[in-house]
Amino acid sequence: MAADDPDFASWLPVIGKSLAYLCMADAIKHDPDRFKETLPRVDFLEALGLSHEDASKAAGSTPGSVRVLKFNRDKKAKNGKKGSKKARASR
């Protein structure tokens, strides 16, 4: 079987990452507004099956900064506050 061949199997992750990157490039071309920021790009790549580290590197960021972005997004969603303190104070 070709999948049991160690030489062939070593190329499968490379092919998978390359295809995921090409899919992301095509998605950015079709809908550039959706993928302006890093976090939607990482979410898209992770949905395609890339690991957190590989997705963040392919999106042009580091795994640590993406982790912080996700934490802040989740914290904002749990908090329920959408406006800043400055915007609320001017009302």
pLDDT at residue 62, rounded to an integer? 94
pLDDT at residue 1, rounded to an integer? 47
Kindly state whether residue 11 falls inside one of the protein's structural domains.
yes
Kindly state whether residue 36 falls inside one of the protein's structural domains.
yes
Query: In residues, how long is the chain?
Result: 91
Which range marks the domain in which residue 75 is found?
2-79
Name the pTM for this structure: 0.72
Kindly state whether residue 84 falls inside one of the protein's structural domains.
no
Is residue 91's pLDDT more than 60?
Answer: no
If one counts the domains in the chain, the total is: 1
Is residue 43's pLDDT more than 70?
Answer: yes
Kindly state whether residue 41 falls inside one of the protein's structural domains.
yes
pLDDT at residue 75, rounded to an integer? 86
Give the CA angle between residues 12, 10, 43 to the nearest 5°.
45
